Structure 1
Amino acid sequence: MKEFILLLLFCHVASPVRHSLKYFYTASSQATNFPEFVAVGLVDDVQIVHYDSNTQRVVPKQDWMEKVTGDDPNYWDGETQASQVDQHGLKVRIDTLKKRFNQTGGVHTYQRMYGCEWDDETGDTKGFEQYGYDGEDFIVFDLKTKTWIAPTPQAVITKYKWDRDADQNEYYFNYFTKGCIDWLKKYVGYGRSTLLRTELPSVSLLQKTPSSPVTCHASGFYPNKIMLFWRRDGEELHEDVDHGEILHNHDGTFQKSVDLDVSSVKAGDWGRYSCVFQLSGDEKDIITKLDPKLIKTNRAPEFPTGVVVGAVVGLLVLVAICIAGVFIWRKRNNGFEKANTSDGSASSVEAAPLN
C-alpha cells in the first residue's frame, strides 16, 4: 500500500500549468476519537472545504471560497445535503464489505477519491475516481471504456452490477470530462491570487552528526510543482540519495528534503556536490554548494529554530489531512459516482450502492 504522505523569501506571479480538483471521503467503523465520516476537497492541493459527521455541515477552508455564493446562493446547503447522503451511503457499504471479506468486528475504513485535472495551456483534461477498503484498491472507473475495474475478487460482483448501468456510467463520463472541469476552472478563478502565486524557499543544509547524511531542506515554496535533488559535477545523483515527501507548512506553503550520504565522499571532493531546487515556471534554479561552513547541526543553538517549528507544524497539518481521509492506494486505477444534487459541483457526485 502506498500511504498517503499525504511549509517566504521572494514572491512573484506565475501560473502553474496543471490544476487539479480532488475530493477525499473516509467512512470508518469502530475508530476511536474519529468521526464516522469525513470529507475534504482540495484545489491544487489546497484544502477548500471540510465536512464531518460530528459537525454535519460543509464549511469553507479558504476565504476566497465564499465567492461561490455569488454564483449559487444555495451552494453550501446543497453541498451539506450531498455530504450527508454520502455519509450514510459509505457507512452502509462498510457493513456490506465486512461480509464480503468475512470480517466481523475491528476497525475498518472505506475511502473514496475522485476529481479531475486541467492543463491551462494545452486544454488537456483528466478525470479519475477510485474506492478503497482498509487501505487497498477496491474498485475503480476506467474513463476510456466507461467500465469498472475490480482489483480484488470481492469487488467483481460490484463491477458487474455497475457495468450494466450504462446510463450512470455515461453520466460519470460527461461529468468528469466537462462538469468537474467547469467547477475546477471556477474555483481557480475564485482563488487566483492565492493559487497562481509563486514563492521561492529558503534552502538549508542540515546534518545531525559528522557521520550522518547531509540534508538539503527547502521550505516556504509554492506551488508544490518542484524538483529538489543533489548533483555532482553538474550531473544529477541517483545513488546515495534519499528523497523525502513534499509536506505542508502551516502558512500554506510547502517543504521538502533530500538526503545525501557523504560517508564515502572524500573531504576534498565536497566542492563537487551541490543541491538544486527547481520550481516549475521559474527559469532560475536555487543552487546550494556542499560547503561544511554552510551546514547546520541539531545542536542548540546552531540548528535553525524556524526549520524545527516549520517541520513540526507541517507534520501536524499532514496528520490532520490524513485523518481527514486523504488516502492514496497502492494501485492507481480510477472510477466515479452519480450526482445527488442539481448544482453539478464536484463534491455532489453521489457514490453508487455496492449491491
Structure 2
Amino acid sequence: MSGCEWDDETGEIRAFSQFGYDGEDFMSLNLQTLTWTASKPEALIIKLTWDTYEAMLNDYKYNLLNVFPDLLKKTIQYGGSFLLRTDLPSVSLLQKTPSSPVTCHTTGFYPDRADLFWRKDGEELHEDVDKGEILPNHDGTFQMSVDLNISLIAPEDWKKYDCVFQMSGVKDDIITKLDKSVIRTNWVPPSVFPAGAVIGVVVGLLLLLLCITGLFMWRKKTNGFRAANTSDSADRHSDPN
C-alpha cells in the first residue's frame, strides 16, 4: 500500500509505502533514510536486498513526494464542487397525537456526516429519546429523525428543550425550540368535526340497517310461500280421490 497525505493549509506532504503479509505488517519504507524497515524477522532478508536497489528507492521517493501529491491536488481541484458540497436540511417538529412523542425530523442534508439530538438547558439528552438512523433520499441527500417523549414534561418546561442539528464542517448548528405553535400534526380533536357530518353518518347507518332488515324479511316471506305451494302440490298428486 502506497499513498500520500497533503495538508492544504501548511503544504506538508506525508507519504508512505508499506507491505503486509497474511493480515500483518511486513515491511515499510523510511523516506528519511531511504531504507526499508522489517516488521517481522522473515522480512529481514528482503530488506537487506532491497536496500541495495538505489534506483528503485529513488523512484519510490519521487513518486511518493511528487507524482502522488500532484494527482491528489488535481483530484481535489476537479472534484471540489462534489467533495466539498454541503446542503443544510429543513427541520420540522411532528406529532401524531397530543400524547405522542414529538419527532424532530430533518431532510435534504448532505453529506451524511451529521448528528441530530434533543437537549435540555443546553445538555444533550440520552433518556426519553429514540434516535433513528440516517436514511438516503431519492435525490442523493439524507434524512434523520429523533423522538422526544413529552409525557413527563410539564407545559411550562417546554421552553427548556430544543432539537439540535450538527454537520461536520459547518460552524453553526441548526436549533429548533420545542414549541406547540410550530408542531405539525394531522390529528383533529373530535369536537372539531361538524355536527351536520356526524348526524349525516348516523342517519346513513340507520337507513342502511333498515334496508338490510327489510330485504331479510322479504326473502323470508318469499321462501316460506314457495315451500307451502310445493307441499300442497305434493298432497294433491298423492290423493287417489
- TM class by shorter chain equals 0.3 to 0.5
Question: Quick check: which has more Rg, 1 or 2?
Answer: 2
Bigger helix share:
2
* Higher RCO (CA 8 Å, separation ≥ 6 residues): 1
Normalised by the length of structure 1, the TM-score is: 0.34
TM-score, scaled to structure 2: 0.48
